[in-house]
Amino acid sequence: MKIYRCLAVTKRVFRDLKNDRRTPALMFLAPLFAMFVFGVAFSGDVKDVPVIVVNADEGSTAQGVWISLSEEIISQLDRQMLDITTLKSADEARNDVEHGRALAAIVFPEHFTQEVITASFPGEIQVIIDRSNPNVANPVLKSITAAMTGTMQEIGQEAPITIHEDSIFGKNASFMDYFFPGILSFVAYLLTILLTLITFVGERVSGTLDRLLATPLRESEIVTGYALAFGLLGTLQSAFLLTVGVLVFKVTVVGNVAVAFVVIALLAVVSQSLGILLSGLAKREVQAIQFFPFVVLPAFLLSGIFWPIEAIPSWLRPASYMIPPTYAVDACRDVMLRGWGLEKIWIDIVALVGFASLFLMIAVLSLRRRD
């Protein structure tokens, strides 16, 4: 293996891209377009969600003044997002949620204020919520929590309940924040596979691959050259998207961006090997297009881009762990939302390195196969 030959291949990929305006446009503008579409469609502007409030709280008199913390919390709820109806009975409220007439019900118990103020019991708010659509449920939960924490801060006490989701999504994470690491991984995966798949089917069909293999250039050098090129392209692409994400969509990145780039570069290497592999199965360029659904759908549905892996039926979950983007999405999210470093996402990195080595090897073998 000679590095100058690998680099010659890498250079050829970039020369090809330089002469062709459409492919770079596809690599950089298509994900941007997707981001805008999703950004607008899901930007967290959840509005007029029917929510029921059942307030049995009797309030409490402290130093001669009657106060009701529940009233205070209710007044702080986001009325843009929540369309609030008041009911008397918790059972009735639950029934409404169960039948889809309301997305959530917030129930304040009878001695809520008293318990919180005297701190005799931890005050407890019951939130009955329909979580079938996390894209709605999460912002709603967040808004309830915000109202509650706001009120508690005013009286200088800890929140009576903590809502689990809040810790997962980070304090102020919007849907875009959550979605963004997913789209970085997804476009790196998808576009790299499609580009290498089409390029290599072309190389096989036109005979340029034969011509290359009749020179001292080895299969492993071709694959390495391409891996370098696409690793670099993946990094450039995510740097570009990240810049737009931060500037336009106000995406917050908590962790070290460099770690996220390493993850994306690895994913791009995995994807380009997959592209080369698949190219061996296609006899003509059109046939390559028939692979697209098999490439796109599993990644789209199973890798946790839009909804968490935990939301996927357990019998299907092993499939999630068999596709590489899952690890990249997970790692990027950990880095960008939770601020985790290499020491915590190493399992994902190991998985991606494993996939990369395996697929690179098979890709080399698939080029070596002669009839």
Interface positions with other proteins (CB under 8 A): 2, 4-5, 7-8, 11-12, 15-16, 19-20, 206-208, 210-218, 370-371
**Opening angle at CA 258, ends 255 and 263, nearest 5:** 95
Local structure of 2: helix, strand or coil: coil
Contact 352, 266 (CB under 8 A): yes
The residue among 218 and 333 lying less far from other proteins, judged by its C-beta, is: 218
The residue among 6 and 35 lying less far from other proteins, judged by its C-beta, is: 6
Minimum Å gap between C-beta 236 and other proteins is 19
Minimum Å gap between C-beta 218 and other proteins is 7
Tokens of 360: 């690179």
Minimum Å gap between C-beta 192 and other proteins is 17
Minimum Å gap between C-beta 14 and other proteins is 10
Q: Beta-carbon neighbour count of residue 84 at 10 Å?
A: 16
359 exposure class (CB count in 10 Å sphere: 0-12, 13-18, 19+):
buried
Helices (H), the chain: 3-19, 22-42, 69-76, 90-98, 112-118, 134-155, 164-169, 175-206, 208-213, 219-248, 257-279, 285-290, 292-302, 317-320, 325-338, 342-368
The DSSP annotation for 184-214 comes to HHHHHHHHHHHHHHHHHHHHHHHSHHHHHHT
Beta-carbon contacts of 168 under 8 Å, excluding residues fewer than 6 positions away, are: none
